Structure 1
Amino acid sequence: MKKVDVHTDGACRGNPGPGGFGVVLTSGKHRLELSQGFARTTNNRMELLAAIVALEALTQPCSVRLWSDSRYLVDAMTKGWLRGWKRKGWVTSNRQPVKNRDLWERLDAAAEAHEVEWKWLKGHAGHRENERCDELAVTASQAPGLPPDDGFEGN
């Protein structure tokens, strides 16, 4: 399997507010940067969407190390939260509906074809690729004429 390092970040001005995500994929000498902004969304949605878009960009099954500064994302994937939510019919341990279910389902499907190692790193701590993802996400969130985040219930 091809080995791919993925760095992701989400940004939101206000929460909710205009937001965006940034992604850097590297494999050997190859590098791909992706970003997108939305008119009204949340930071958590952008963190999730960054990981989704990165995994969906891969055209074949890969061995992926995915780095994120989002505990929400990394903990859900490494501590079994996602499996539990699915098993319980998409409710949390307090019997509340899981927020961002549309994106969790999409992430689950996107990750299925790959061997993904979910890695947390501290944000805004000088890590080159994380800083680049933040730049991409912030810039995307500031673009004119941003589309709606159709899955965001606060639209």
Structure 2
Amino acid sequence: MIELYTDGASSGNPGPGGYGAILRSGQHYKEISEGFRKTTNNRMELLAVIKGLESIKKPGQEVMIFSDSKYVIDSVEKKWVFGWLKTGFKGKKNKDLWLRFLEVYKLHKIKFTWVRGHNGHPENERCDELAVMAGKQKELLVDTVFESEELKLGI
């Protein structure tokens, strides 16, 4: 069983932000994070899950994802995302990331566990630190899909 702990953060919504993820299995432990110059909290919450799953090299793994994001967990556990897929994500945000999530989701046996954010859960607190630090870096990545969507909408 692989444990994947995730968190996302943004300073402003939209604003600079980042994600943090921890993968743990037996003696193996890995932290990953990246920061973006303009994004949203929900995008970073979802990207943390995606990047964590994408870093698992062998398909068919049992993965328990721990997240404080009801947006991510409910969208999957309540099967909303599968309905959105059928409607082409009409009226829904983050289509690019949800499609990317669905590609990696089908590779593994995934379960979600919700954890209350900022409540002393050690791995969730560490993921929050990673996400916040990533969003404060001097060299931030460009969330090109998000920024191009904003341009289209005139935001």
TM-score between the two structures when normalised by the length of structure 2: 0.93
Q: Please report how far the alpha carbon of residue 116 of structure 1 lies from its aligned counterpart in structure 2 after TM superposition.
A: 0.3
1:133 equivalent in structure 2: 127
Matched AA of 1:90:
F
The SS at the match of 2:8 is: strand
For 1:33 and 1:74, locate their aligned partners in 2 and report how far apart those are by CA, in whole Å: 21
Aligned residues: CA RMSD: 0.9
Matched AA of 1:63:
E
2:115 equivalent in structure 1: 121
1:10 equivalent in structure 2: 8
For 2:33 and 2:54, locate their aligned partners in 1 and report how far apart those are by CA, in whole Å: 13
For 2:89 and 2:14, locate their aligned partners in 1 and report how far apart those are by CA, in whole Å: 22
> Superposition pairs for residues 7-46 of structure 1, below 5 Å?
7-46=5-44
Matched AA of 1:70:
S
For 2:113 and 2:136, locate their aligned partners in 1 and report how far apart those are by CA, in whole Å: 28
For 2:45 and 2:141, locate their aligned partners in 1 and report how far apart those are by CA, in whole Å: 17
User: Is there any run of 5+ residues in structure 2 with no aligned partner, and where?
Assistant: none
The SS at the match of 1:76 is: helix
For 2:88 and 2:100, locate their aligned partners in 1 and report how far apart those are by CA, in whole Å: 16
Q: Please report how far the alpha carbon of residue 154 of structure 1 lies from its aligned counterpart in structure 2 after TM superposition.
A: 2.6
For 1:89 and 1:148, locate their aligned partners in 2 and report how far apart those are by CA, in whole Å: 25
Kindly provide the CA deviation profile for residues 75-120 of structure 1, in whole angstroms up to 9, marking residues without a partner as x.
Answer: 00100101111122222xxxxx210000000000011110000111
For 1:146 and 1:18, locate their aligned partners in 2 and report how far apart those are by CA, in whole Å: 8
1:90 equivalent in structure 2: 89
The structure where helix makes up a greater share of residues is: 2
TM-score between the two structures when normalised by the length of structure 1: 0.93
For 1:4 and 1:53, locate their aligned partners in 2 and report how far apart those are by CA, in whole Å: 14
Matched AA of 2:122:
R
For 1:151 and 1:8, locate their aligned partners in 2 and report how far apart those are by CA, in whole Å: 21
For 1:42 and 1:124, locate their aligned partners in 2 and report how far apart those are by CA, in whole Å: 19
Matched residue pairs, number? 148
**Percent identical:** 49
